[in-house]
Structure 1
C-alpha cells in the first residue's frame, strides 16, 4: 500500500472544523493507504514557544480527539514528532542545502504572521517551518499528504528540496511527495468569522452539549433578517453552511423555502441543526470518555507506533548519512 502522512499541532482540544477539514478524511484514508499520523509538537513551538508547559497536556487531548472520531492505532501508525530525534537530525542536514528564499516565499509565512500579530514570530523556527514539514514527510517515504488547495505550495517546497538533495548527491533516497487534495466544507465560526480557538467562536468535539446549544441559538445569521417576517437569504447565512454538512437534502430544501419566504424563524432553523449536531457529537464524546478512562499515559499508549516510526525513519537516515559523509 502507498503511504500517507499527516500531522496536527497540539494546541488544545479539536473543533468540528478540524473534523470536517481533516479528520473525517483521515479516518477514510486508513482503509485505503498505510497511514502515519503524528503529533506535531515541535511545530506548535514555532508559534507558542513562550508557553510550552501546555503542550504535553494538549498532546493527550489531541490523541483522545483522534481516537474519539475513529482514528485506529491498529490501522494507522500514531506517534509524537519530538520523540523521534531523526526529525531534528535530518532538519539540520537539509538546512545546509535549503535556500532561505524558498522559505520566505511560502504563502503561509506572511499569512500566519498577519493573523498572529500579537506574537513575535521573527525567529528561525517559524521561518523554517516548511523545512521541518518537509522532514516530517520524507522521513517516512510518504507518497501522499492530504491537503487543501491552499496548502499545495507547502508540498511543492518539499518536492523542490527533495529534487535539490537528489541532484547534489547524485542519488534517489526520498520519495517525492504529492498533495492528496481533499474538499473542505465551508464552516465558519459562530460569529461568522473563520473558526478559530483564538476567536472563541468554535464548537469543540468534546464540548458540553448545553454549551453547544447556547452557542448555536445565539449564532450569527443573515444580518438583513431583522424580524421573523423578513425574508432571509440562506446563501449568506453561516447557520445554513452548517446545514449543508449536517442536515438531509429534504431538510435543506425546506429550510431554503422557509427562510426565503419567512415561513420559519432563525430559531426554528437552529433547532433543526441542533438535532443533527447532537446526534453527531454524542457518540464521539462517549468514545472519548472511554479512552480517557483507558489511557493513563499517552506516551505508553503510543509506544508501538512510536517504535515503528523510529525504525522507518532510522532506515532513511542511514542512507542520508552515507551520501552526506556524516
Structure 2
C-alpha cells in the first residue's frame, strides 16, 4: 500500500529559524517516516515580493537546504526540490487562474493580510495576488493530499480545494483528491519582541544556525511581563514570550507548569526564567549548528542532493500535468 503524499515548503529568502522548528520542522521529521514527503524550496514564489533581490533568493537556496539537512531531514526519505526548475508547476498555475476570479483572489483572508503587511495596498504585484492559484499548482502537482500549514494559511488550502472541485467538475470525474490541512496545535511562535510572529523580515527571529552569543542576546531581549518589576511581584504567564518558548522547546512539561505557578504567585524572577530558556535553546541548537557546519564544508554535495530531488520531482509533476491536460480534454499532438 502506497504512503500518502505530503507537501511542505518554504520561501527561500533566508535561513530557517526557531519559528519554523516549532511550527513545522518537528512534524516534518515525523512525517518522513510515515509519508512520501516532498519539501519544495519555493524560490519562484519568493520572487513575488523580492523581484529586486533575485541574488538574495538564489543565495538562500542552499542555505535553506542545509538547514533542513541539519535538523535531520533525510534525503533518502524526503525529496527536497527546487520550484523554479519544475515547469509543470508554472503551467498548472496558469491553468488554475482560469478557475478563479480576481475578486475571489482579493477576498482570500491570507492574501489580504499579506498585502496589508507588505504595504501592497496601492500596487499589488500580480504574481503575489495570484499566489493561491500557484499554491494549488504546487500541491496538486505532487498529488499531495496532506499539507502542514499555520492557521493563517488555512484559507489557502480552502481555495486549493475549491479549484480542485472545479477541475473535477469540468472533467466530470475525480482527477484530483481534495487536500487536508494539518495545523500545529502550538500555533505560530512569536518573535523575541513579543510584538508579532517570528519572521526574518521583522528582524525578531533566532536562526537555527545562531551561535551561543546570538542565542543569549536574543533571550535577554525577550519580552516578559512589564508589570513584574520585582522578584516577589506576581507575574503574568499569558503573553509572556519566555514561557511561550519554554512551552515550545523545554522537554520537561511538569517543570514548566511548576514555574508558571511560581511566577503567578510571585517569588520567581525573570533572570532565572531566561537562564533556563537560554540553556534549553543552547542545547537544542548546538547539534543542529554543528551538523550544519559540516554541510557548509560540502556545498557541492548539497547541490547534488537538491538536483537529484528536483529530477525526481520533475518526473512526478510532469506526469500529473499530462494526466490533468488529458483529463480536461486538451488537444493531443
Alignment of 1:192-271 (within 5 A): 192-194=194-196, 195-247=198-250, 248-271=252-275
Contact between 1:186 and 1:241, CA under 8 Å: does it hold in 2? no
For residue 293 of structure 1, report the CA deviation from its aligned partner: 1.3
| Structure-2 residue corresponding to 1:35 | 37
For residue 119 of structure 1, report the CA deviation from its aligned partner: 8.8
2:149 to 143, 147, 150: 147
Question: Which runs of 5 or more residues in structure 2 are unaligned?
Answer: none
1:310 to 310, 314, 317: 314
Mapped partners of 1:23, 1:239: distance in 2:
21
Deviates more, 1:128-137 or 1:293-302: 293-302
Question: Which runs of 5 or more residues in structure 1 are unaligned?
Answer: none
Mapped partners of 1:250, 1:197: distance in 2:
32
Contact between 1:47 and 1:121, CA under 8 Å: does it hold in 2? no
| 1:324 aligns to 2:327 (yes or no) | no
| Structure-1 residue corresponding to 2:4 | 2
Contact between 2:38 and 2:79, CA under 8 Å: does it hold in 1? yes
For residue 325 of structure 1, report the CA deviation from its aligned partner: 2.1
Alignment of 1:60-79 (within 5 A): 60-79=62-81
Mapped partners of 2:207, 2:123: distance in 1:
27
Mapped partners of 2:161, 2:119: distance in 1:
30
Question: How many aligned residue pairs are there?
Answer: 326
1:85 to 84, 87, 111: 87
| Structure-1 residue corresponding to 2:285 | 281
Contact between 1:148 and 1:184, CA under 8 Å: does it hold in 2? no
Q: Report the aligned-residue RMSD.
A: 1.9
| TM-score for both structures, normalised by structure 1 | 0.94
For residue 17 of structure 1, report the CA deviation from its aligned partner: 0.6
| TM-score for both structures, normalised by structure 2 | 0.92
Contact between 2:225 and 2:236, CA under 8 Å: does it hold in 1? yes
1:77-120 deviations in whole A, cap 9, x for unaligned?
11000011111122222223332222122111110111112797
Deviates more, 1:46-55 or 1:240-249: 240-249
| Structure-1 residue corresponding to 2:57 | 55
For residue 185 of structure 1, report the CA deviation from its aligned partner: 4.3
